[in-house]
Amino acid sequence: MTPEFDLIAKYFTRPVSNAVLGVGDDCALIRVAAGCELAISTDTLVCGTHFLPDTDAVKLGHKALAVNLSDLAAAGAAPRYVTLALTLPAVDEAWLAAFSRGFFKLADAAGVELIGGDTTRGPLSMTLTVFGEVPAGKGLRRDGAKAGDDVWVSGSVGGAALALRHLQGSVVLSAGVLERALERLYLPAPRNALGCALVDVAHSAIDISDGLIADLTHICERSGLAATVEWPLVPLSPALLSVGPEVRMPCALAGGDDYELCVTAGEDARAAIEAIAAKTGVALTRIGKMQPGNAEVTVIDERGAPISVGVAGFDHFSARSE
């Protein structure tokens, strides 16, 4: 056996229970449940672009999978399988052990099976492809929003961007606040149960990877609508309460990496959405409306006047997320 096969066997081979065939053959084999469609998404994380070079490997294992599971959540698909293509500068067994620990802890919690991948040498990066199941015809999309829809956001936003600002040196957070913010940056909780529960009530959905405004703008573009967001309604990460509005607003509106869901749904779905929030234990906050108009998001203050501060921040942050 070559060392590569040893590594795969040691760190990335687990028995599968749902797949027909898992790691170790030329292809994995899977069966899609009757009445379901397969939802498929790929994301790459590159060292220096998507994470800092000294990022703890356990957290990286978690985050690499979490950002992919988040795409399934946005589609309303239940996570089933994942493949992992790893490019490593050198064989570092301590790193591999830590990475696979973080990866499998989340995989087990999410009910997703690793069924294959690739292992190559080069600058550190990882490409994951996730496969989920969604009842046929029910997958949530960006193009389904309707004029008059409410805009909802799950959990809270801005914490991950605040942690990044601290790491980059533009703000200095106290130890307690930093700890909470770093958790949002490194250990995002993909909203899979929530996404699955929303398939019958939401008209459109997206996960917030590039920032609330940027991602809601994608719904606007694909649905051919405008959106208005009321700044005072936006649920802020608790860590943001420790910084001034000049940091708070760009982090909450334009900061990426939160991996919350932004969804739109008719006004008649309000009670159903609140029931889903209660059942899944994830807060859902109504922050605005979809309306006819150019594909843009307007942020308004408590008096209904447009705010432009967040948009300046958005330009800055959108540059780093691809």
| Cβ proximity to ligand ADP, 64 vs 263, nearer residue | 64
Tell me the backbone φ, ψ of residue 27, rounded to 5 degrees. Answer: -135, 150
Name which position in 86, 124, 205, 254 contacts ligand ADP (CB under 6 A): 86
Closest contact distance (angstroms) between CB of 117 and Mg ion is 8
Stretch that binds ligand ADP, among 38-46, 60-68, 116-124, 148-156 (CB under 6 A): 116-124
Asked whether position 116 contacts ligand ADP by CB under 6 A, the answer is: yes
Closest residue to Mg ion in the complex (CB): 118
Query: Which range touches Mg ion (CB under 5 A), out of 60-68, 87-95, 99-107, 116-124?
Result: 116-124
3-state secondary structure the chain: CCHHHHHHHHHHCCCCCCCCECCCCCCCECCCCCCEEEEEEEEEEEECCCECCCCCHHHHHHHHHHHHHHHHHHHCCEEEEEEEEEEECCCCHHHHHHHHHHHHHHHHHHCCEEEEEEEEECCCEEEEEEEEEEECCCCCCHHHCCCCCEEEEECCECHHHHHHHHHHCCCCCCHHHHHHHHHHHHCCCCCHHHHHHCCCCCCEEEECCCCHHHHHHHHHHHHCCEEEEEHHHCCECHHHHHCCHHHHHHHHHHCCCCCCEEEEECHHHHHHHHHHHHHHCCCEEEEEEEECCCCCEEEECCCCCEECHHHHHHHHHHCCCC
- From the list Mg ion, ligand ADP, none, partner contacted by residue 8 (C-beta under 5 to 8 A by kind): ligand ADP
Interface with ligand ADP, residue 23, by CB under 6 A: yes
Q: How far is CA 42 from CA 60, 220, 277, in A?
A: 16, 23, 28
Residue 120 or 294: the one with the smaller Cβ distance to ligand ADP is 120
Question: Which residues is 285 bridged to in the sheet?
Answer: 153
Nearer to ligand ADP, 111 or 245 (CB): 111
Does position 200 bind Mg ion by CB under 5 A? no
Single out the residue of 61, 79, 102, 117 in contact with ligand ADP (rule: CB under 6 A).
117
- Smallest distance from ligand ADP to CB 38, Å: 18
Q: Is 26 in the site for ligand ADP (CB under 6 A)?
A: yes
Which residues inside 157-196 make contact with ligand ADP, applying CB under 6 A? none
Q: Which is nearer to ligand ADP, 116 or 190 (CB)?
A: 116
* Least spacing, CB of residue 9 vs Mg ion, in Å: 14
Q: Does the footprint of ligand ADP cover residue 84 (CB under 6 A)?
A: yes
CB nearer to Mg ion: pick between 25 and 267: 25
Position among 10, 20, 25, 267 found at the interface with ligand ADP (CB under 6 A): 25
Task: Tell me how many residues contact Mg ion (CB under 5 A).
Answer: 1
Look at residue 86 and give the partner it binds from ligand ADP, Mg ion, none, a contact being a CB closer than 5 to 8 Å depending on partner kind: ligand ADP
**Residue 114 is a binding residue for ligand ADP (CB under 6 A):** yes
Task: Identify the residue among 6, 25, 118, 143 touching Mg ion (CB under 5 A).
Answer: 118
| Residues paired with 133 in a beta bridge | 38, 78
Contact between 210 and 86 (Cβ < 8 Å): no
Half-sphere exposure of 159 (CA within 13 A, CB side): 25
Numbers of helices and strands, H then E, in the chain: 10, 11
Report what 26 binds from ligand ADP, Mg ion, none; CB cut-off 5-8 Å by kind. ligand ADP
Applying CB under 6 A, the residues found at the interface with ligand ADP are 8, 12, 23-26, 84, 86, 114, 116-119
Applying CB under 5 A, the residues found at the interface with Mg ion are 118
